């Protein structure tokens, strides 16, 4: 087992990793920017090192500073969390070169899955269904040619993308040139690479993902699916497990296909395979995130497993302690992403938290790095807490989540709590009748694909 793990991240995920390490008896090193000097992850870690100014490019994305912090403190492993450098193959390679275990997939796997177009091709060859799409397109003329071949509407997507950036829905050939240029520019700014490709557009999709785990001994398992359809501009807002749209036989079939596919590419550690579901409940591979997901907590609630601890154990060479390809799912779990933003306009809301009370009670979990008098800086993602509940069934989970939201007090800044209350009381949501456009009914800024 590792003696000391450096956490190359901030906020709630850094605190989450610290919790897992404490239970394993592993010492921790927090890194922080000058804006996060008073953050909880700094307080809870055994050691903490300032790695730069507030801007993430000068701190949490500064590989040299992070590696230096690991060397100075004597860390023997690095956990990247999600976001920032979590899916940066160069960072994983640098860690290996510096004799630091990278708690995640191999650099080669991260590189393969980070190229969405290559990942689609690889998964298709391994038997997974994919939407009709193109290779990387380099010009407007080539994009138009592929658009005609695929058939409109189409989606322009960044090959190195994620989180909805570098994505544009195109209904007609006339719209394609502008969407192509816009997607290229956004992709270049967000991911360095301007490469984009085209994919068939599904009008009313649902977003389903499967949680996967693999170890270095060839064992791969799946832990069922998560429903991640409630989104704003491709950013997930609320997740749940299991999905109301996935029958046990489908779960077993898709899960087995994924186990076989990931075993074939030698996948190890945690990963999530994302699918688009069409109106006929057909699933199509979208991408694979080679890291822990924000919404991993809902899977933990329905399986009883600690995914972050399993990540650490796998990276240390341990075998996955589970027989077969999966475990049974128990009850139903829902997660609401609580963000520091206006619940109607979605404008970010940085500032001081003047009052804070986290809800508790049976089946309620709060992952956060926020406390009363803490300051939410304007430099990072607006996610400030994850409210997660578990119930015997979906109706009980919804009722429990509403109760928890009503007891969640965050004062001094605006949050998305009122939006989540609207979602959970909506008749269509309660009936399981929604797609990625669902939030458009509450705000034009909440359109799923706009």
Active-site amino acid positions: 291
| Residue 170 near residue 199 (C-beta atoms within 8 A) | no
DSSP characters for 231-251? EETTEEEEEEES-TT--HHHH
Q: How far apart are CA 135 and CA 318, in angstroms?
A: 38
Percent of the chain as helix, strand, coil, to the nearest 5: 35, 25, 40
Nearest Cα to 11, choosing from 64, 59, 82?
A: 82
Q: How far apart are CA 281 and CA 112, in angstroms?
A: 28
CA distances from 78 to 46, 60, 81, 117, 193 (A): 15, 13, 9, 28, 26
Burial of 97 (0-12, 13-18, 19+ CB in 10 A): exposed
In this structure, the strands spanning 77-79 and 101-102 are parallel
Query: Collapsing DSSP states into helix, strand and coil, what is residue 258?
Result: helix
Structure tokens at 42: 């700094």
Give me the sheet containing 235-241, strands edge to edge. Answer: 283-289, 269-277, 206-214, 220-232, 235-241, 332-339, 383-391, 364-368
Burial of 304 (0-12, 13-18, 19+ CB in 10 A): exposed
CA distances from 58 to 52, 54, 105, 230, 362 (A): 6, 7, 25, 33, 42
Instruction: Tell me whether the omega of the peptide bond preceding residue 242 falls within 30 degrees of 0, making it cis.
Output: yes
Q: DSSP secondary-structure letter at 229? A: E
Q: How far apart are CA 430 and CA 424, in angstroms?
A: 7
Q: How far apart are CA 99 and CA 97, in angstroms?
A: 5
Backbone angles phi, psi at 391, to 5 degrees: -140, 170
Burial of 135 (0-12, 13-18, 19+ CB in 10 A): middle
Structure tokens at 402: 């509403």
């Amino acid at each position: 087992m590792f003696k000391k793990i450096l956490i190359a991240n901030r906020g709630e995920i850094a605190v989450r990793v610290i919790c897992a390490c404490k239970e394993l008896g592993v010492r921790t090193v927090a890194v922080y920017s000058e804006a996060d000097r008073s953050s909880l992850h700094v307080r809870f870690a055994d050691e903490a090192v300032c790695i730069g100014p507030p801007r993430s490019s000068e701190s949490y994305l500064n590989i040299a500073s992070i590696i230096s912090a690991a060397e100075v403190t004597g860390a023997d492993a690095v956990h990247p969390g999600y976001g920032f450098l979590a899916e940066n193959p160069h960072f994983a390679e640098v860690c290996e070169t510096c004799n630091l275990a990278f708690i995640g997939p191999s650099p080669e796997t991260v590189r393969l899955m980070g190229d969405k177009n290559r990942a689609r091709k690889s998964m298709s060859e391994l038997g997974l269904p994919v939407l009709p799409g193109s290779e990387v397109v380099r010009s407007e003329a080539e994009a138009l040619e592929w658009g005609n071949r695929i058939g409109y509407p189409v989606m322009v997507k960044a090959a190195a993308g994620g989180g909805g950036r570098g994505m544009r829905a195109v209904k007609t050939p006339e719209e394609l040139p502008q969407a192509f240029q816009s997607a290229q520019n956004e992709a270049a700014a967000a991911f360095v690479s301007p490469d984009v490709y085209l994919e068939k557009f599904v009008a009313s999709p649902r977003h389903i993902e499967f949680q996967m785990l693999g170890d270095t001994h060839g064992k791969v398992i799946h832990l069922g699916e998560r429903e991640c359809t409630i989104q704003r501009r491709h950013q997930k807002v609320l997740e749940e497990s299991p999905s109301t749209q996935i029958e046990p036989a489908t779960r077993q079939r898709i899960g087995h296909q994924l186990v076989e596919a990931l075993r074939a590419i030698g996948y190890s550690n945690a990963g999530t395979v994302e699918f688009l579901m069409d109106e006929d409940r057909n699933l199509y591979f979208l991408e694979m995130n080679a890291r822990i997901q924000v919404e991993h907590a809902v899977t933990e609630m329905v399986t009883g497993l600690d995914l972050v601890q399993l990540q650490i154990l796998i990276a240390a060479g341990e075998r996955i302690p589970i027989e077969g390809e999966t475990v049974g799912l128990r009850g139903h779990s829902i997660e609401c992403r609580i963000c520091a933003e206006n619940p109607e306009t979605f404008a970010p809301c940085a500032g001081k938290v003047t009052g804070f009370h986290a809800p508790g009670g049976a089946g309620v979990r709060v992952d956060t790095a926020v406390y009363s008098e803490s300051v939410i800086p304007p430099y990072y993602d607006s996610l400030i807490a994850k409210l997660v509940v578990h119930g015997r069934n979906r109706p009980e989970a919804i009722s429990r989540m509403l109760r928890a939201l009503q007891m969640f007090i965050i004062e001094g800044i605006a949050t998305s709590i009122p939006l989540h209350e609207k979602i959970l009381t909506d008749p269509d949501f309660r009936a399981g009748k929604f797609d990625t456009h669902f939030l458009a009914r509450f705000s034009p800024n909440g359109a799923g694909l706009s």
